[in-house]
A and B are shown apart, each in its own frame.
Chain A
Amino acid sequence: MDNLLVIIADGVLFASWLFLVAVGLTLIYGVMRILNIAHGSLYAIGAYTGAVFVITYCQKSDWLPGSYLVLLGAAISAGLVLGTLMERGVLRWFYGKEVVLQLLSTYAIFLILEDVLKLVFGVKPYYAYKPLLGAGNFIIGGVNYPRYYLILFFMAVLAGILLWLFMNKTRFGKLVLAVIHDPEISLAMGIKIDRIYIVAFSLGAILAALGGAFTAPMTVVVPGLAVEVIVISFAVVIIGGLGSFVGAGLGALIVGLVRSLAVHYVPELELFTIYFVMAAVLLFRPQGLFPTKEVRKI
Chain B
Amino acid sequence: MNRPSYLNSSVVLLALMIIPGFILPDWMRYVFTVALCKAFVVLGVVILLRAGLVSFGHALFFAAAAYSVAFSANLWGIREALVLIILGVLASLALAAIIGLLVARYREIFFAMITLAFSMAFFGMLVKAYRFTGGTDGLRIPTPAVLGFHLLPQTSSIAIYFLVLFCLVIVVYLINRFMNSPYGYILRAIKENEIRVSYMGGSVPKAVYLTFLLSGGLAGLGGSLITFNVGHIDPYLSYWTTSGEFVFVALLSGTGNVFACIGGSIFIEFIKTYAFKYTPYTWQMMLGGIMLVVILFSPGGLWALYENLVQRTKMGGKKYDATT
| Interfacial residues, chain A to chain B (CB-CB below 8 A) | 35, 90, 93-94, 97-101, 103-105, 107-112, 114-116, 118-119, 123, 227, 230-231, 234-235, 238, 242, 268-272, 275-276, 278-279, 282-283, 286, 295-298
**B284, A279: Cβ atoms closer than 8 Å:** no
Asked whether A112 and B194 contact (CB < 8 A) given A100-B108, A104-B295, the answer is: no
- Asked if B121 and A279 sit within 8 Å, CB to CB, the answer is yes
Q: Which residues of B contact A93 (CB under 8 A)?
A: 296
Chain A interface main SS type: helix
A35–B128 alpha-carbon span in the complex (Å): 29
A-B Cβ contacts below 8 A, count: 130
Q: Would you list 7 pairs from A and B whose C-beta atoms are within 8 A, ordered by A residue?
A: A94-B295, A104-B295, A105-B291, A105-B295, A234-B116, A275-B124, A278-B117
Say whether A97 contacts B110, CB under 8 Å.
no
A112-B292, A231-B116, A282-B117 known; 18 new pairs, CB 8 Å cut-off, are A99-B109, A100-B49, A108-B288, A111-B291, A112-B288, A115-B281, A115-B288, A234-B113, A238-B113, A271-B127, A272-B123, A275-B118, A278-B117, A279-B121, A282-B113, A286-B106, A296-B106, A297-B105
CA distance A262 to B116 in the complex (A): 21
Q: CA–CA, A238 to B108, complex, Å?
A: 14
Please, what's the 1-or-0 string for B49-76, where 1 marks a CB less than 8 Å from any CB in chain A?
A: 1001010000000000000000000000
CA distance A269 to B124 in the complex (A): 8
Verify if B83 is at the interface (C-beta below 8 Å from A): no
Interface size class of B (residues with CB under 8 A): 35 or more
Seen from chain B, the residues whose Cβ lies within 8 Å of a Cβ on chain A are 49, 52, 54, 102, 105-110, 112-114, 116-118, 120-121, 123-125, 127-129, 194, 204-205, 240-241, 244, 247-248, 251, 281-285, 287-289, 291-292, 295-296, 299
- Contact across chains for B109 and A103 when beta carbons are under 8 A apart: yes
A114–B245 Cα distance when bound, in Å, is 14
Instruction: Give 6 closest A-B pairs by Cβ, nearest first.
Output: A272-B124, A111-B288, A112-B288, A115-B285, A275-B121, A108-B291
B110 touches A282 (CB 8 A): yes
A118 touches B194 (CB 8 A): no
Question: Would you call B295 and A298 a contact (CB within 8 A)?
Answer: no
Report whether B281 and A118 are in contact in the complex, using a CB–CB cutoff of 8 Å. yes
CB distance from A236 to the nearest CB of B (A): 12
- CB-CB < 8 A to B49: which residues of A? 100
Q: Which of B109, B124, B241, B292 contacts A90 (CB 8 A)?
A: B292
Q: Which residues of B contact A271 (CB under 8 A)?
A: 124, 127-128
Q: Is there an interface contact between B117 and A119, defined as CB atoms closer than 8 Å?
A: no
Check A283 against B120 for contact (C-beta < 8 Å). no
Residues of B contacting A114 in the complex (Cβ-Cβ under 8 angstroms): 284-285
User: Closest Cβ of chain B: how far from A16's Cβ, in Å?
Assistant: 23
Do A297 and B107 touch (CB < 8 A)?
yes
Cα–Cα, bound, A268→B124 (Å): 10
Task: Return the chain B residue nearest A276 by Cβ.
Answer: B121
B62 to nearest A CB, angstroms?
A: 17
Q: Is the CB of A283 within 8 A of B128?
A: no
How many whole Å from B37's CB to the nearest CB in chain A? 22
